[in-house]
Structure 1
Amino acid sequence: MLEIRTPKQGRAKREIEKRAPKLVENGKKTLILHGTKTSNTLYAVLTEIYHLKKDNSVKYSRRNDNIRPFESSGETSLEFFSLKTDCSLFVYGSHSKKRPDNLVIGRTYDHHIYDLVEVGVENFKSMESFSYDKKWAPQIGSKPFFAFIGEGFESVEELKHLKEVLLDLFRGVVVSNLNLAGLDRVYVCTAVSSNKVFFTHCGTIVPRMELVEVGPSMDLVVRRHRLPDDNLRKEAMKAAPILAKKEKNVSRDAIQGKIGKIYIPDQQVRMKIVLFGIGDTALPNKSKGLMRERREAKIKGDRNKNVVKKQKQKQDS
């Protein structure tokens, strides 16, 4: 029997609640780690990626011998580190004679490998190699723009996959509203060929339409990539059902579209007639004083008729 351990301290309970599934997920964290061998160029690349995502990334400095992406037996340690640090993105750097300056960018779902993209780094230029005024330097935590130039990002499968991974890696927290005053950086990706992309980082000042290259800058050559399995993709793309608020007295028809019912309240005409005293119908109960006046008027009218009748009889006689 497997033992299920539950946290006993409040700090551990709060940490588990942060990692629990939510309708609106937290921002994706990035895990940056090294392989068995890394060159100076690759070490600088990983360091600058960490500085670009310093507010939402974790960097391991020790070498890892057991991590081998694209191999089923070499991804166990990578998934363990993803679970330990609660990171859904990772950047893994390694260097060998067969694949020099090799960079593997991947995503995880439920702390299992989702997809992978392997690129080679060429013509790397660090931030220190660019000279510019400090006012062009982007601020930490600002939201970036992305510019993907080239038809390859829409037609070539490898570049389409690389575009998705780069967007997830550098876009940060997803927001609904954005202040234009905070837009001070642009990532420019140019498709040079069917497997090569020129990647650079530029700074800007709003409202000036001018870009200054602030680094880093490098060429990314796509070597291998692995798309997620169809079943895993369907499971990862599931979204919580949104319970729409029910509209009263509204129905929808395929032909007529949206149909609504309008209810007109009772106008209470009878009550208005009673209040304003219009006509005889306004008095549902006849008062006794009015009945007495009518009776007296009738008696008086009869007396007058009798007097007139007697006078006519005397004149005739």
Structure 2
Amino acid sequence: MLPIREIKPKNARTKRFLDNKGPQATENPRRTLFLRYTTCSDILQMVLADLYALKRPLAIKFSKKNDIHPFEDPSSLEFFSEKNDASMMVYASHSKKRPHCMTIVRFFGFKVLDMVEMNVEAETMRTLAQFKNAKAAVGLKPLLSFSGSAFESPTPNAYTLAKSIFLDLFKGPDVQNIDVEGLQYMIHFSVDEEEREEVKPQIHMRCYLIRTKKNPNSTTPRVEVEEMGPRIDFRMGRIKEADPDMLKEAMRKPKSQEPKTKKNVETDIIGDKVGRIHLGKQDLSELQTRKMKGLKRSRDVADDEEAFAGAEDEVVFDPAKRSKVEV
């Protein structure tokens, strides 16, 4: 991994700019840059336009052609990332060998962390304009859902990497509270089951409007979804996995965000808080035990014991002495 070049500020203004651009305890929302190759098909241009519409305002779209090969020399992509303060990039290119190719790149410290290449299926592609209905407002966070065993694989693969990149691409800014009125649309990604090893299953991207309607049988509204576009099917291509050392550095959390540990207080795997209490030496002779009802003697048992005690001293009446004699 190449070391990140350190720029020494010459004045206070440059220092403030570099501090704002540098690592933060709470990072800024991810900004996405949209670029195109020297040859870009009409299908890819429509895909870029629709993805840009979903990402606004955290997006920058350039229309100039760029002769860049991401998997061969990513230095130009890193230059664009640092110049525009963008941590995500969508790069579109079209060639005979890789038609309708879209590459999604993720950066860390303005250096390429990982990237995934996907080919768009031109026959099944539908744009936002082809769905004649209302669209979600600009700047809203979408609901993201994934379905398919390939996304949940315990071993890292191209589909788990694609899921991670899609999450970073569409998640938007981090928020503490969510207004229900702002949940207007969702993006669903599904992957087909693998039938043959030589044929990789497709990834289907669908966008739906969320409609709430009055439910006459309950106070809870009825939720319905309506497809709003775009509708895109991807075929997996090349991938570039992250360098282990660079990924470890990217996943490191600042000490200010780590929860402070309390003595003798832990959290189990379920999420429950468990505490340990230390007591002094106890005098068990003064311990108040619980009085069990089953250990108490009943009234019938007490009467039987008294009758048995009276039967031990038998009394006999002697008529000659006219007195009671104990035997």
Q: Which position in structure 2 is the counterpart of 1:217?
A: 231
**1:31-42 aligned within 5 A:** 31-42=33-44
- State the 1:208 CA deviation: 3.7
The answer to whether the Cα contact below 8 Å between 1:34 and 1:92 also exists between their aligned partners in 2 is: yes
SS in 1 for 2:138: coil
Partner residue in 1 for 2:128: 127
Distance 2:86 2:260 in 1: 35
The aligned residue for residue 177 of structure 2 is 177
SS of 1:174's equivalent in the other structure is coil
Q: Take 1:100 and 1:244, find their aligned partners in 2: how far apart are those partners?
A: 48
Counterpart of 2:22?
20
* 2:188 counterpart residue number: 188
Q: Is the 8 A contact 1:53 1:170 kept in 2?
A: yes
* Distance verdict in 2 for CA 1:251–1:19, change over 3 Å: same
What is the letter of the counterpart of residue 139 of structure 2? Answer: G
**Cα distance change on mapping 1:142 and 1:3 into 2, 3 Å:** closer
Q: Would you say the 8 A contact 1:44–1:126 is kept in 2?
A: yes
User: Is 1:258 matched with 2:260?
Assistant: no
Q: Post-superposition shift, 1:13?
A: 4.8
| 1:142 partnered with 2:140 | yes
How many residues are paired up?
A: 250
**Structure-2 separation of matches of 1:95 and 1:104:** 11
Which residue type is aligned with residue 206 of structure 2?
T
**1:276 paired residue number:** none
- Mark the CA change 1:4 to 1:144 in structure 2 (over 3 Å): closer, same or farther: closer
| Deviation at residue 259 of structure 1 after TM alignment | 3.1
1:205 is the counterpart of 2:211:
yes
Q: Distance in 2 between matches of 1:17 and 1:44?
A: 37
Match of 1:100 in 2: 99
Alignment of 1:73-88 (within 5 A): 74-88=73-87
User: Aligned-pair distance for 1:252?
Assistant: 6.2
SS of the aligned residue for 1:26 comes to coil
Equivalent-residue separation in structure 1 for 2:265 and 2:189 (angstroms)? 46
1:251 touches 1:260 (CA, 8 Å); kept in 2? no
Amino acid at match of 1:114: L
Deviation sequence 1:33-66 (CA, Å, 0-9, x none): 001100000011111111111110111110001x
In structure 2, relative to structure 1, the CA distance for the partners of 1:48 and 1:14 (3 Å cut) is farther
Q: Secondary structure at the match of 1:16?
A: helix
- Which has the higher mean CA deviation after the structures are superposed, 164-173 or 191-200? 191-200
Q: How far, CA to CA, are the matches of 1:113 and 1:3 in structure 2? A: 17
One-letter amino acid of the counterpart of residue 276, structure 2:
K
Query: Which SS does the other structure have where 2:211 is aligned?
Result: coil
Aligned equivalent of 2:56 = 54
Change (3 A) 1:29 1:261: farther
Amino acid paired to 1:97: K
Specify the alignment match of 1:309 in structure 2. Answer: none
The CA deviation at 1:16 is 2.7
Residue 200 of structure 1 aligns to a residue whose secondary structure is strand
Change (3 A) 1:196 1:177: same
SS in structure 2 of the partner of residue 60 of structure 1:
strand
The separation in 2 between residues aligned to 1:159 and 1:3, in whole angstroms, is 35
Partner of 2:9: 6
Q: TM-score, normalised on structure 2?
A: 0.70
Q: What secondary structure does 1:51 align onto? A: helix
1:294 corresponds to: none
Runs (5+) with no aligned partner, structure 1:
263-317
- Residue 252 of structure 2 corresponds to 238
Q: Residue type of the partner of 2:233?
A: D
Deviation at 1:209, TM superposition (A): 1.2
Q: Shift in Å at residue 18 of structure 1?
A: 2.2
Given that 1:203 and 1:214 are in contact with CA atoms closer than 8 Å, whether structure 2 keeps it comes out as yes
> C-alpha distance in 2, partners of 1:3/1:173?
28
Query: How many Å apart are 1:20 and its aligned residue?
Result: 2.0
SS at 1:37's partner residue?
A: coil
The structure carrying a bigger helix percent of its residues is 1
Where does structure 2 lack aligned partners over 5 or more consecutive residues?
195-200, 213-220, 267-273, 281-327
| RMSD of Structure 2 on Structure 1 (CA) | 2.5
Check conservation: 2:107, 2:113, Cα contact below 8 A.
yes
Query: 1:162 Cα shift?
Result: 0.8
For the residue of structure 2 that corresponds to 1:124, the secondary structure is coil
Does the residue aligned with 1:18 lie in a helix, a strand or coil? helix
Higher Cα Rg, which structure: 1
* 1:114 counterpart residue number: 113
